[in-house]
Chains A and B, each alone.
Chain A
Amino acid sequence: MNRLSLSQAFIYLLRRDLTLAFRNRAEFANPLLFFIMVITLFPLAIGAVPELLARIAPGIIWVAALLAAMLSLESIFRSDFDDGSLDQLLMSAHPMPLLVLAKVCAHWLVTGFPLLIISPILAEMLGMPQQAQGVLFLTILIATPILSLVGSIGVALTVGLPKGGIILSILVLPLYVPVLIFAASAIEAAAGGLDVSAQIYMLLAFLFLALSLSPVAAAAALKISMS
Chain B
Amino acid sequence: MFLWFHKLGSPPHFYRIAGNWLPWLGTIFLLLLVAGLYGGPILAPPDYQQGESYRIIFIHVPSAWMSLFIYIVMAGCGVVILVWRMKIAEIVLISSAPIGASFTFLALATGSLWGKPMWGIWWVWDARLTSELILLFLYLGVIGLHGAIEDKRVATRAVAILAIVGMVNIPIIHYSVEWWNSLHQGPTVTKFDKPSIHWSMLIPLLLMALAFQVYYLLALFQSCRTELLQRERNSRWVEELIAK
* Least Cβ–Cβ distance between B176 and chain A, in angstroms: 10
Contact A171 B154 (CB under 8 A): no
**Cross-chain contact B141 with A224 (CB below 8 angstroms):** no
Complex: how many Å from CA A173 to CA B136?
A: 12
- Bound together, the chains give a CA A173 to CA B144 distance in angstroms of 14
A157 to B141, CA, bound (A): 12
**A-contacting 9-mer, from B69-77, B157-165, B209-217:** B157-165
B138, A174: Cβ atoms closer than 8 Å: yes
Q: A220-B161, A221-B161, A227-B154 are in contact. Are A173 and B137 (CB under 8 A)?
A: yes
- Cβ–Cβ contact A158 & B137, under 8 A: no
CB neighbours of B157 from chain A (8 A)? 224
- Pick from A161, A163, A174: contact of B137, CB below 8 A: A174
Dominant SS among interface residues on chain A: helix
State in angstroms the CA–CA spacing of A174 and B170 once bound together.
Answer: 12
User: Are B145 and A153 neighbours in the complex by a CB distance under 8 Å?
Assistant: no
Q: Check if A57 is an interface residue, CB within 8 A of chain B.
A: no
Residue of A whose beta carbon sits closest to that of B180: A181
Q: In the complex, what distance in Å separates the CA atom of A164 from the CA atom of B148?
A: 8
Asked if residues B134 and A177 are in contact (CB atoms below 8 Å), the reply is yes
Contact with A along B115-131 (1 / 0, CB 8 A): 00000000000000010
Measured in the bound complex, the distance between the Cα atoms of B130 and A210 in whole Å is 22
Q: Does A30 sit within 8 A of B, measured CB to CB?
A: no
Measured between beta carbons, the chain B residues less than 8 angstroms from A173 are 137
Instruction: Please indicate the chain A residues that have their CB under 8 angstroms from the CB of B145 in the complex.
Output: 157-158, 167, 171
Chain B: interface size category = 20 to 34
Which of B82, B134, B145, B154 has the most CB atoms of chain A within a 10 A radius of its CB?
B145
CB distance from A96 to the nearest CB of B (A): 14
Q: How far is the CA of A178 from the CA of B168 in the complex (A)?
A: 10
Whether, in the assembled complex, B149 has its beta carbon less than 8 Å from a beta carbon of chain A, the answer is yes
A170 touching B172, Cβ below 8 Å: no
Q: Provide the B72-93 mask, 1 if CB < 8 A to any CB of A, else 0.
A: 0000000000100000000000
Residues in chain B near residue A217, CB distance under 8 A:
161, 164-165
> Is the CB–CB distance between A175 and B158 below 8 Å?
no
B-chain residues with CB within 8 Å of residue A227 when the two chains form the complex: 154
CB distance from B135 to the nearest CB of A (A): 8
Cβ-based interface call for A212 (8 A) = no
CA distance in complex: A209, B167 (Å): 13
Report the minimum CB–CB distance from A89 to chain B (whole Å). 18
How many A-B pairs have beta carbons closer than 8 Å: the answer is 54
A163 to B149, CA, bound (A): 10
Indicate which residue in A153, A161, A171, A174 contacts B149 across the interface (CB closer than 8 Å).
Answer: A161
A225 at the interface (CB under 8 A from B): yes
Distance of A225 Cα from B141 Cα, bound (Å): 17
User: In the complex, which residues of chain B have a beta carbon less than 8 angstroms from the beta carbon of A177?
Assistant: 130, 134
Give bound CA distance, A227 to B138, whole Å. 25
Q: How far is the CA of A221 from the CA of B161 in the complex (A)?
A: 7
Q: Assuming the A-B contacts A161-B148, A161-B149, A217-B161, are A175 and B166 also in contact, with contact meaning beta carbons closer than 8 angstroms in the complex?
A: yes
Contact of B158 among A163, A178, A224 (CB under 8 A): A224
Contact surface of A with B, Cβ cutoff 8 Å: 153, 157-158, 160-161, 163-164, 167, 170-171, 173-175, 177-178, 209, 217, 220-221, 224-225, 227
**A-B contact list, 30 entries, CB within 8 Å:** A153-B165, A157-B158, A157-B162, A158-B145, A160-B149, A164-B148, A167-B144, A167-B148, A170-B137, A170-B144, A171-B141, A171-B162, A173-B137, A174-B134, A174-B137, A174-B141, A175-B165, A175-B168, A177-B134, A178-B172, A209-B168, A217-B164, A220-B82, A220-B161, A221-B158, A224-B154, A224-B158, A224-B161, A225-B154, A225-B158
Q: Which 7 A-B pairs have the closest CB atoms?
A: A174-B137, A171-B141, A224-B157, A174-B134, A170-B141, A157-B158, A221-B161
Chain B contact residues, CB within 8 Å of chain A: 82, 130, 134, 137-138, 140-141, 144-145, 148-149, 154, 157-158, 161-162, 164-166, 168-169, 172
